[in-house]
Amino acid sequence: MDVRMFTVGPVQENTFIVRPDGSDRAVFIDPGDEAPRLLAALRELDVELDAILLTHTHFDHVGAVAELARETGAKVWCPEIEVPILADINAYMRFPGLGPFESYDADHTVAGGEELELAGLTFDVLFTPGHSPGHVTYSVRDEGALFSGDVLFEGSVGRTDLPGGDWPTLARSIRALLERFDDDTAVYPGHMGVTTLGRERATNPFLADLGAPS
């Protein structure tokens, strides 16, 4: 699998182009900002965008969605609980000086438990709330990869002080990932660096406080 990470926007969000090695079809995960740069990357790779997958709808993860969808024709999968936010992003903005952002009406929804066949890859959708009410994580089957959005970071975890955030809920979501996937599973997070579940299990102080299984 070929994963290209781009760090974009004022809060340094990670967005990813994901495709099978050498394929001319790809998926974008959480295109948060800098749409012209992301479109240029697609042209440079000479790939067709099959889909845009969203882990959640905070502004820093969806700011480029509408432009990418319009320019590529790709359909957008959004957590169903958060569809109203994507459809009216600026009404939910609580950070002065940022935006405005272009809203988008989701083409498809996910809630957890779905299996998506896109661009030659199989994505299992996992419901991982706690950072936001509808947050999902995408696991790429047979590739040992998780796209964790703002659930789990390198050395940290998603914040829970935004509307709809809840630490006990986030802790359960993280514990479920640790119990389900091997230590060598790669974690592609919404902020900071790429890591593995094993590294986070061993070194992440939030997971120690969580009482994660050894």
Q: What is the pLDDT of residues 89-125, one digit of tens each?
A: 998 887 777 878 999 999 999 999 999 999 999 999 9
Q: What is the pLDDT of residue 213?
A: 42
Domain that holds residue 83: 2-210
Q: What is the pLDDT of residue 214?
A: 37
CA 58 to CA 62: how far, in whole Å? 7
CA 115 to CA 203: how far, in whole Å? 31
CATH code, 6: 3.60.15.10
DSSP secondary structure of 122-155: EEEEEE--SSSTT-EEEEETTTTEEEEETSEETT
Instruction: Enter the pTM of the model.
Output: 0.94
pLDDT tens per residue across span 62-74: 999 999 999 999 9
Q: What is the pLDDT of residue 128?
A: 98
Percentage of residues in the chain having pLDDT higher than 70: 98
pLDDT tens per residue across span 11-61: 999 999 999 999 999 999 999 999 999 999 999 999 999 999 999 999 999
**Using 50, 70 and 90 to split pLDDT, how confident is the model at 208?**
confident
Q: How distant is the alpha carbon of residue 32 from its chain centre? A: 10
Total domains in the chain come to 1
